[in-house]
Structures are given as C-alpha cells and as structure tokens.
Amino acid sequence: MNVALWLLAALGAIGAFDTLYYHEWRARLPAQGTSAAPGLRLHAARDFFYATLFGTLPWLGWHGHWVLVLATVIAIEIILTLWDFVVEIAVRKPLGDVYAGERVTHAFTGIVYGAMVELLIPVMWRWWSLPTALVTEHQTGDGTIIPPPAQQTADRAQVSCAPRAFSRRGFPR
C-alpha cells in the first residue's frame, strides 16, 4: 500500500503541473469561456473523484462492500479520463491541438495511475473479505505521513466549474 500511496502523491504533483502549466498558463482554458466549458466540466468531475482518493486512501480502509464504492470511484475516474481525451480534441482545435509535452504528461499520468491501481487491487481484495465498514487506519504502516493534495484538488474542481471567475486573459503571467 505504501508504494500505491506514493504513486497517488506523484499523480497529485503531475496533475498540478498539468493543470497549472498546460491548462492555465499555455492554453488558458478558463479564459476561453464556453468553448472550453465541456473540458473544464470534465476536469471538475475528475477532480471530485481524485479528491475522494486523495482524501481517503491514506487514512481509511474501505472494508467489505465499501470496496465496491472504491472500485466505482476508480472506474468512473478512468471513464471520465477517456471521455476527456475525446473532448480535448474539440476544445483544443483552436489552439492547433493538445501540446506535445502535455500528451507526454497525460501518458505518464496514465502509466502511474495504472501502476497505482495494480498495487491497490490486492489491498482491495483483502478489504473485501473484512466486515463492511470504513475503518480509520494508517495505510503506510511505517509511520510515514504522505500528505494528500485533496484540498488542492477540491479547490481546482471549484475553479474548473467557474471559469468566468478568471479574467478574460486567463491565468496571470
């Protein structure tokens, strides 16, 4: 579980970079208004599910039937990500396409996410055999505290839902 949590922390860092550099700085998605709204809504939805993972996995055991809820959160996030790949084509058309470095970042994110899920599956299998409950437990086992970026992800979801809150120029340079 420790490695899965470090991969989750890495996903938070990669996601923050992707959002700040590519979405806000380079593409200025919030400043594009309604043309970028479909992509921003998907990002806000994905951020909600990521915040759920960041905010619970380091401290909660999803025992028994709660594993089905956790699996659903993971599956929905994957579906939203795939949908986002399709929507990005239309949203980024005025810019030419998704930036090459951003594609690499997205590919790296997918690889890290897949590795994290692979490491979570045996934990979820063990949790499935336990009585149904959300149980407070320190997941790293070695006393290491991995601060989840749950609050930052939740804040990003709110910003994605309200693109007009930014100036017409987008993220300040």
Res 172 pLDDT > 50: no
pLDDT of residue 164: 44
Q: What is the pLDDT of residue 137?
A: 84
What is the rounded distance in angstroms from the CA atom of residue 55 to the CA atom of residue 32? 31
Q: Which two tokens stand for residue 57?
A: 């996995």
The span from the CA of 140 to the CA of 153, in Å, is 21
DSSP state of 138: -
The DSSP annotation for 131-156 comes to PSEEEE--TTSSS------HHHHHHH
Confidence class for position 142, pLDDT limits 50, 70, 90:
low
In the chain, where do the E strands start and end?
A: 60-63, 133-136
Question: CB neighbours of 64 closer than 8 A, spacing ≥ 6?
Answer: 127, 128, 130, 131, 132, 133
The rounded mean pLDDT for the chain is: 84
Instruction: Label residue 106 left, alpha or beta by phi (over 0 means left) and psi (-120 to 50 means alpha).
Output: alpha
pLDDT tens for each residue of 63-121: 999 999 999 999 999 999 999 999 999 999 988 999 999 999 999 999 999 999 999 99
Token pair of 71 as six digits: 């699996």
Residue scoring higher pLDDT (70 or 172) = 70
Residue 146 has pLDDT above 80, yes or no: no
* 165 vs 1, residue with greater confidence: 1
